[in-house]
Amino acid sequence: MGQYVLKVTGELSNVTDLKPVDTTDSPFEYTFVIECTNCREEHDRPITINLFEKHDLQKSRGDALFIYKCASCGHEKSTTITRTKESLSESGKWATILEIDSRGMELKKFNPEGRFQCVGSDSGTHFDEVDLEESEWYDYDDKVGEEVSITEVKWELARR
C-alpha cells in the first residue's frame, strides 16, 4: 500500500491560489505514470484519474477512483485520491494538492495536463485557463495593468 502526496511549487508573479480547475462540470484528469509493485512493470501509457468516477473493487466491498489489472502479472491495482484544501499561494513554498492511497502500484510521475486556476494578487481577477504543461504560464491583468505569471513550476510525488 502506497500513501503519497502530490506537491507543487513555483514562482508566482502577481497571482496567488494556484490549483486545478476541478468541479463536477469540469473534472480535472490527474495524469500519472505508474508501475506495478508486484512485477515492477511500468504501465504502457500514463493513466488518468478524476475525483468523480468511482469503480467497484472485485472481491471486495470497497471502491476506488482508478482500477486496473496488470497485463504482466494479472494482479488488480487501485488508487483513490483526495483533493486537499491547499493551493500554491507563495513563491518558493510547497503546497500539497492531493493525498493519494495507492494499492499495488507506485506512482512514478505526475503530468500536469489540464486546466489550472489562480487569482490576481492585487486585483482579485480570476484566471481559469492556466496551462502548466510547459512548467510556465504568462498573462496580463487588465484591472491593474500588470503582467502575471507562474514560472519554474515543479511537481513532487512524495511518500507520506
- Give the pLDDT confidence of 86-107 residue by residue, as tens digits: 999 999 999 999 999 998 899 9
Answer for the pair 10, 88: CB distance below 8 angstroms, yes or no. yes
Between 51 and 15, the more confident residue is 15
Q: What is the Rg, in whole angstroms, of the alpha carbon atoms belonging to the chain? A: 17
Whether residue 75 has pLDDT greater than 70? yes
Whether residue 73 has pLDDT greater than 80? yes
Question: Amino acid identity of 145?
Answer: G
Q: What is the pLDDT of residue 64?
A: 79
Answer for the pair 99, 107: CB distance below 8 angstroms, yes or no. no
Show the domain range for 33.
Answer: 2-159
Measured between alpha carbons, how far is residue 150 from residues 1, 144, 155 in Å? 34, 17, 13
Please count the residues of the chain.
160
Give how many domains the chain has, as a whole number: 1
In whole angstroms, give the CA distance from residue 79 to residue 108.
Answer: 13
pTM score of the predicted model: 0.90
Whether residue 1 has pLDDT greater than 60? no
